[in-house]
Structure 1
């Protein structure tokens, strides 16, 4: 079943997570969206949980000439996290991808400054952290995000997405404490295939969503 749009997908995801919250499983939760596509989904999740919302910028490292095909990702100042098997199969190495990494690092910093300004990343130590994206294909950016966050010592690390490739979901279970995925279609193909409306999310939409949520939800 396809989702109407990211907002509807986020509402359904929020309902699933509210079941955990009602059982006392998610006290002091904070929701972190992977921008840009994860933000509209995360807004609905954070609204359902009455939790603070922020972003964690992660950038995919793609194949030269085919940037949509990810072989790695970066978060913050962490070194790139590569899919070693994919690199070997494609005959690539880190040196050949150095320029791509530098370009994505520059874009990552631009987005961090644009979305957050001088506001620091929320302190997640000993908190329940819910990482939200609009879907998982290879899971490269989500994996890098979870490993980065794990080093910051959250109490519990949860990955929540509306749809994901089954094999990716299975591989992600070792990266977080829990994974919540509403749909794992065997004929996955690509994330966008499972949305009726999958328009690109703009920087302005990300900033507006963050500001509006911050104005109505205290940092709990």
Structure 2
């Protein structure tokens, strides 16, 4: 399954999610790329839209290689198997963890709602544009659990089989429209996968609020 862009993916994901029964749902996007997808889902479910920010923790000499993830709330996960394979210990990525936490908090303040919706006792749907390793989504699930929701669902248009399995062990439900057998990157399944700007995020959030 290939998507035209994130809006197209959001509509297709929303069509699947509206077939399910939800209790007082809240939709949380992983910004920036998850916002256009989540906006379509929130509109279809007539649910509040907000963000949950999680940032990748990169290896010291390979910042693009994820060894973990952290949220704005300070909830973090480290992949000990990857650390061991790189010859690293947890203290070796302390600086990267600190930097990623600061950036997650900055983005939460930048993109998050001034009056965040209550999560306790509600079905929370975390939405992103896709799952590669699933580390940031996994951190987001653990952070949302701290707010005692009724349930946590992770919903994405596309993802690797390994990442989906990882999330299925943590979330109450995972909705993934496509799990391609030859998955290399999320962007390969979108015709238009350009970067989402801060202005576009602001516009989507404001439009949904109206």
**TM-score bin, normalised by smaller chain:** over 0.9
Alignment of 1:98-177 (within 5 A): 98-116=94-112, 119-177=114-172
Task: Report SS of the residue matched to 1:95.
Answer: helix
Which residue of 2 is the match for residue 97 of structure 1? 93
1:150-175 CA distance string (max 9 Å, x none): 12111111000000001111121111
TM-score by length of 2: 0.95
Task: Report SS of the residue matched to 1:68.
Answer: coil
Which residue of 2 is the match for residue 199 of structure 1? 194
Q: Are the counterparts in 1 of residues 27 and 124 from structure 2 also a CA contact under 8 Å?
A: yes
1:149-205 CA distance string (max 9 Å, x none): 112111111000000001111121111110000000010111111111110111121
Are 2:53 and 1:57 aligned?
Answer: yes
Aligned mates of 1:5, 1:85 — CA distance in 2: 34
| Structure 1 spans left out of the alignment, 5+ residues | 216-220
| Structure 2 spans left out of the alignment, 5+ residues | none
Aligned mates of 2:44, 2:59 — CA distance in 1: 38
Total equivalences in the alignment: 210
Aligned mates of 1:11, 1:175 — CA distance in 2: 25
**What RMSD in Å do the two structures reach over aligned CA positions?**
1.3
Which residue of 2 is the match for residue 183 of structure 1? 178
Task: Report SS of the residue matched to 2:144.
Answer: helix
Which residue of 2 is the match for residue 68 of structure 1? 64
Which residue of 2 is the match for residue 16 of structure 1? 16
| 146-155 or 177-186, which deviates more | 146-155
1:121-163 CA distance string (max 9 Å, x none): 3210000100000000110000011011112111111000000
| 64-73 or 171-180, which deviates more | 64-73
Task: Name the CA shift for 1:111/1:55 in 2 (closer, same or farther; >3 Å).
Answer: same
Which residue of 1 is the match for residue 205 of structure 2? 210
Task: Report SS of the residue matched to 1:97.
Answer: helix
In the TM superposition, residue 67 of structure 1 has moved relative to its aligned partner by: 2.4
Which residue of 2 is the match for residue 45 of structure 1? 41
Task: Report SS of the residue matched to 1:19.
Answer: coil
